Structures are given as C-alpha cells and as structure tokens.
C-alpha cells in the first residue's frame, strides 16, 4: 500500500520484508547450510520448504499490512476511522444537495396556505427534491420560499441551475407553480480516505478555545466533505474571514457557503468575540503560452513526447488550480515539461506571481506550440 501524499517528508517504512524470492532463498539457504546438502529443484524437501515459504510470505504481508494500518500515512477504510476515533474525528456521511424553492399561487388567497414539509419537486428527471419544512403562504400573499433537499444523498443532486427545477410531483387542490431560486449544491458522497486523513491531522487544532486559524480550517472542512481547502484571514481585530474551496479547485456554491455559515453560528465553536464571514475565494486568471523543443536524437519518439508534454502541462494546470494561495510558478511547469522528454521550453506566459492565501490561480487560455527539433 502506498504512503499518502499528505506526508511527503516521511520515508517509506517496511514492517516486514515481503519479497517472495528473497524469503524462499533465505529458507532454502539456511536449510542447506544446516544440513550441509544441496537441494535440487525436484527434491521433496525443497518442495516442502517452498510450501512453508508460501505461508511465511503470507504472514509477512499480514504483518506489514497490520503495522501500516496503525499509521496515519498508510491507514485506509475502517482502520483509518479507528485512528480518527482517538481524536473524536468520524468520517463524514454522504449528504444530499440542497436548493431554495419558491412556490407561487395563481392568486392570493383569503386564508393561510400550508405547503407541507416533504412536498416533492423535480426538474423532470429521476432526481427528486423534498421541502425541508412547512411553508406557510400568508393570507393575501401569493408566494413563499423554502429550503429543499434531494431525496438521495450524494452528488447526483448537484448542478441544477436556478430555474431548472419547476415541476411539482404532489397534487394540490389549488393551482400553484414552483421554481428553484439557487443552483442545487452541497451534495457529497461519503468522505474519501484522503480527506478524512487530512482532517485527522488537523484535529488537534480544534482543541483550542481561542479560535486559531487551524481550528477554523478544521471546522470548515467538517461542514462539507467536498471542501478540500480553506483560507483563514484576520483583516481586523475580532473579524475572521473564511474562504472554503471545493475539490478540484471548484469555487464553493452558495449552498455550501451557507452550510459553513450555519456551522459557525454555533456558540461552542466560534469565540463570542469573533465576527465570522464566509466568502468565496478570488480567482486570479492567467494565460498559458508555451513553446517546447525536442532533441533531434529523440525524433523517433517525437509523437510520444508531444503527448507526454501535453499531459504534463495539464497536470501542472490542475496542480496550480488545486490549492488556495499556491503561487503561479512557471518554474514548476518548466520542470514538468523537461521531465516529459522535451529538450527545452520557452514560457512566455504566465510570469511568476505570489498569491494571497484566499486567491487561486485559474488558466483562461492555452497556447501550446511545438517549436521543432534541435541538436543536442
């Protein structure tokens, strides 16, 4: 099992050697040394020792696996959850997408109209949303708003744009229309091992009662399992700005920002002296203009190298966009292109730029050119 990329400075650790050939050689060599005889391939004793070696190999694998499952850098699944339990960190469950629905009567009524909790609406496909509470449209009014959640937990309910959810599933004795006012968002699948691992590492920050940056970041990550990063700033005394970021560098939709706001409205999390603002990170746009060259000695592999260079550039763009406050660094891009097989490259844009903690780089335009073959 691989070590998590969350701990790049840690060396790989092996609790028990698992190389089958080495174990088999060691057993047979020890036997031959003790008995002063050489075992041929067909020797029954050798066949017996090989069967014993198979059992030892399996045990070595179990020992190594068991040891690593006790380490945060390697643990996965239920083993990782048991490590989290030591710090009272549990895996976040799948959550449904949410949106704000507006219900409108054909005309105002003389009495209050109740649209009961659980009223179902849909965009016309298999995904259904239910209202979270009773909506009372007061006498003389014709419209009201209410929160609604997808009936299925997970990301399947995300991405319905405002105005797409318009069909009422349930039957009412009066004419009525509905529409979602906000994009549906906030639905998450069960938390991944890597996200849980990072929250476990952050968990000690939550022990403070002073509202440290680490504590704010930890609790922000608990609001939604798809939040992969968060920037915390203190622009003035008593004011805390929180900038959550979703997986893949996606900016948080309004519903996710509301989830974070609701979390920090709890008195047992936020110090009474802090005013907490939950804001959207700021995107810093840049254009990418690269010309690369391939050594003439590698002409036969030029097509393959071109594919690898393109892949390395896409990997750099994804890396650059994956974390808040990550400086726009063309030196890293140059390194990746050379590693992909290019002889050299000219990067016209972007130039190096330092980003603040709440900014994220975004590539707007790409221009990637093959400059040709050059002598080594």
pLDDT by residue (tens digit) across 8-39? Answer: 888 999 999 889 999 999 999 999 999 998 88
Q: Which of 112-121, 204-213, 255-264 has the highest mean pLDDT?
A: 112-121
pLDDT higher than threshold 90 for residue 376? no
Do 252 and 213 fall into the same domain?
yes
User: Residue 106: which H helix or E strand, with range?
Assistant: none
Read off the pLDDT of each residue in 325-353 and give the average, rounded to a whole number. 93
Read off the pLDDT of each residue in 228-241 and give the average, rounded to a whole number. 91
Do 295 and 275 fall into the same domain?
no
Q: Which CATH number belongs to the domain containing residue 248 in this structure?
A: 3.30.70
Residue 201 lies in a domain: yes
Helix count and strand count (H, E) for the chain: 8, 14
Residue 165 lies in a domain: yes
pLDDT value, residue 265:
84
Do 133 and 207 fall into the same domain?
no
Which residues in the chain belong to E strands, given as ranges?
A: 98-105, 113-115, 120-122, 128-131, 135-137, 143-150, 167-168, 176-180, 227-236, 239-246, 275-278, 282-295, 344-349, 359-374
Residues ≥6 apart with Cβ < 8 Å to 88: 203
Confidence of residue 7 (pLDDT cuts 50, 70, 90): confident
Q: Return phi, psi of residue 305, to 5°.
A: -65, -40
pLDDT value, residue 274:
84
Grouping H, G, I as helix, E, B as strand and the rest as coil, residue 118 is coil
Do 269 and 292 fall into the same domain?
no
pLDDT by residue (tens digit) across 143-166? Answer: 999 999 999 999 999 999 999 999
pLDDT by residue (tens digit) across 163-213? Answer: 999 999 998 888 899 999 999 998 999 999 999 999 999 888 777 666 788
Do 265 and 335 fall into the same domain?
no
Question: Domains in the chain: how many in total?
Answer: 4
Residue 85 lies in a domain: no
Do 308 and 234 fall into the same domain?
no
pLDDT value, residue 209:
60
Residue 186 lies in a domain: no
Do 29 and 55 fall into the same domain?
yes
Q: Which domain holds residue 41?
A: 20-74
CA distance 97 to 286: 32
pLDDT value, residue 294:
92
pLDDT by residue (tens digit) across 43-89? Answer: 899 999 999 999 999 999 999 999 999 999 999 999 999 999 999 89
To the nearest 10°, the Cα dihedral for 360, 366, 369, 375? 0
**DSSP at 297:** G
Q: Of 153, 180, 207, which residue constitutes the final position of a domain?
A: 180
Residue 87 lies in a domain: no
pLDDT by residue (tens digit) across 283-329? Answer: 999 999 999 999 988 888 989 999 999 999 999 999 999 899 999 99
Do 172 and 217 fall into the same domain?
no
Read off the pLDDT of each residue in 247-257 and give the average, rounded to a whole number. 90
Read off the pLDDT of each residue in 350-354 and give the average, rounded to a whole number. 93
Residue 129 lies in a domain: yes
Q: Of 180, 215, 233, which residue constitutes the final position of a domain?
A: 180
CA distance 344 to 337: 8
Residue 121 lies in a domain: yes
Residue 57 lies in a domain: yes
User: Residue 161: which H helix or E strand, with range?
Assistant: none
Do 305 and 324 fall into the same domain?
yes
Q: Of 135, 152, 180, which residue constitutes the final position of a domain?
A: 180
């Amino acid at each position: 099992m691989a070590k998590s990329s969350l701990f790049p400075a840690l060396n790989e650790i092996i609790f028990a050697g698992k190389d089958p050939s080495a174990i088999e050689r060691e057993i047979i060599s020890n036997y031959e040394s003790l008995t002063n005889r050489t075992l041929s391939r067909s020797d029954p004793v050798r066949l017996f020792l090989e069967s014993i070696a198979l059992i030892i190999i399996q045990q070595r694998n179990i020992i190594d696996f068991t040891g690593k499952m006790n380490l945060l850098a390697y643990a996965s699944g239920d083993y990782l959850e048991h490590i989290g339990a030591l710090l009272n960190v549990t895996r976040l469950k799948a959550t449904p997408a949410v949106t704000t629905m507006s219900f409108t009567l054909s005309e105002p009524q003389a009495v209050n109209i109740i649209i009961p909790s659980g009223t179902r609406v849909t965009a016309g496909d298999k995904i259904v949303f239910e209202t979270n509470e009773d909506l009372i449209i007061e006498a003389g009014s014709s419209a009201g708003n209410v929160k609604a959640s997808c009936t299925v937990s997970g990301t399947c309910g995300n991405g319905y744009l405002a105005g797409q959810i318009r069909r009422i599933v349930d039957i009412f004795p009066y004419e009525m229309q509905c529409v979602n006012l906000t994009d549906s968002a906030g639905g998450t699948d069960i938390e991944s091992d890597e996200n849980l691992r990072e929250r476990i590492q952050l968990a000690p920050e939550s022990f403070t009662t002073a509202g440290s940056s680490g504590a704010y970041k930890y609790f922000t990550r608990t609001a939604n399992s798809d939040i992969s990063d968060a920037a915390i700033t203190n622009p003035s005394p008593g004011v805390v700005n929180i900038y959550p970021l979703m997986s893949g560098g996606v900016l948080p939709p309004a519903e996710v920002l509301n989830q974070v706001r609701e979390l920090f409205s709890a008195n047992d999390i936020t110090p009474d002296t802090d005013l907490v603002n939950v804001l959207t990170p700021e995107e810093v746009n840049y254009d990418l203009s690269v010309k690369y060259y391939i050594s003439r000695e590698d002409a036969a592999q030029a097509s393959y190298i071109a594919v690898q260079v393109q892949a390395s550039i896409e990997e750099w763009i994804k890396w650059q966009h994956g974390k808040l406050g990550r400086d726009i660094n063309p030196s890293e891009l140059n390194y990746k292109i050379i590693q992909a097989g290019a002889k050299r490259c000219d990067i016209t844009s972007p130039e190096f730029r330092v980003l603040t903690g709440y900014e994220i780089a975004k590539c707007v335009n790409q221009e990637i050119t093959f400059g040709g073959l050059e002598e080594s």
